[in-house]
């Protein structure tokens, strides 16, 4: 995974997986509590979360369509960037309508990005190492999934504001969006042999 020809894409995938898993679990495992902490009635909290969650379905469908139109790399980068924008404004929402709108957008783009990254990751490696590359990238991402929920708990216990917490997640989304656009390799309508760079990887 770290030989010449693959090391850049491996680093890109590991960072992207870490960021997307970190942000997803940090936000969605705490979402009801975070909504409540923003001052919204607990009775309404689960209704808001349900409506936000339903926005994930069209997010998947939109991403599935766009990967064949503008490509995997650009769809993934755009969805991550827009996840960051929505996350930031979600944390700053002062009304229930703004909370719901930005929350639905955050959910839409975040889960759309998940759909793309599952497609994009295995396409970055030749057949012989595809499972290895995908497994290590997803596994590294799970470290972020373990850290984020604990970090949110620590921040809330330390009286850190909701806006600051969501600004943190927004920053992570923006950073990995830049990583994808700068370091990612487009795989739309390319064969695995075209993407593998086998000769380069072996120093040929």
Domain layout of the chain by residue ranges: 7-201
Mean of the pLDDT values across residues 175-196?
A: 78
Mean of the pLDDT values across residues 177-182?
A: 95
Give tens-digit pLDDT for 65-80: 998 899 889 999 999 9
At residue 202, the pLDDT reads 38
At residue 200, the pLDDT reads 42
Which of these ranges, 39-53, 100-114, 119-133, has the smallest mean pLDDT?
Answer: 39-53
Protein fold of 7-201 = Growth Hormone; Chain: A; (1.20.1250)
Give tens-digit pLDDT for 125-145: 888 888 999 999 999 999 999
The separation between CA 202 and the C-alpha centre of its own chain, rounded to angstroms, equals 32
At residue 198, the pLDDT reads 44
At residue 154, the pLDDT reads 93
**Two tokens, residue 40:** 């919204």
Q: What are the DSSP calls for 56-115, one per residue?
A: HHHHHHHHHHHTTTT-HHHHHHHHHHHHHHHHHHHHT--SHHHHHHHHHHHHHHHHHHHH
Dihedral (C-alpha) 124, 6, 178, 182: value to the nearest 10 degrees? -100
């Amino acid at each position: 995974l770290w030989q010449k020809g693959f090391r850049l894409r491996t680093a890109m995938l590991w960072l992207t997986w870490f960021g997307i898993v970190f942000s997803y679990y940090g936000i969605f495992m705490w979402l009801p509590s975070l909504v409540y902490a923003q001052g919204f009635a607990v009775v309404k909290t689960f209704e808001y979360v349900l409506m936000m969650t339903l926005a994930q379905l069209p997010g998947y469908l939109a991403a599935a369509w766009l990967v064949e139109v503008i490509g995997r790399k650009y769809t993934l980068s755009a969805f991550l960037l827009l996840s960051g924008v929505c996350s930031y404004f979600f944390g700053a929402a002062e009304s229930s309508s703004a909370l719901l709108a930005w929350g639905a957008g955050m959910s839409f783009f975040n889960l759309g990005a998940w759909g793309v990254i599952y497609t994009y990751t295995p396409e970055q490696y030749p057949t012989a190492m595809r499972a290895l590359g995908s497994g290590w990238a997803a596994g590294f991402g799970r470290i972020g999934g373990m850290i984020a929920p604990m970090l949110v708990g620590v921040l809330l216990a330390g009286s850190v504001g909701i806006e600051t917490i969501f600004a943190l997640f927004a920053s992570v989304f923006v950073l990995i969006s830049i990583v994808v656009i700068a370091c990612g390799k487009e795989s739309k309508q390319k064969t695995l042999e075209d993407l593998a760079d086998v000769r380069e990887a072996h120093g040929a």
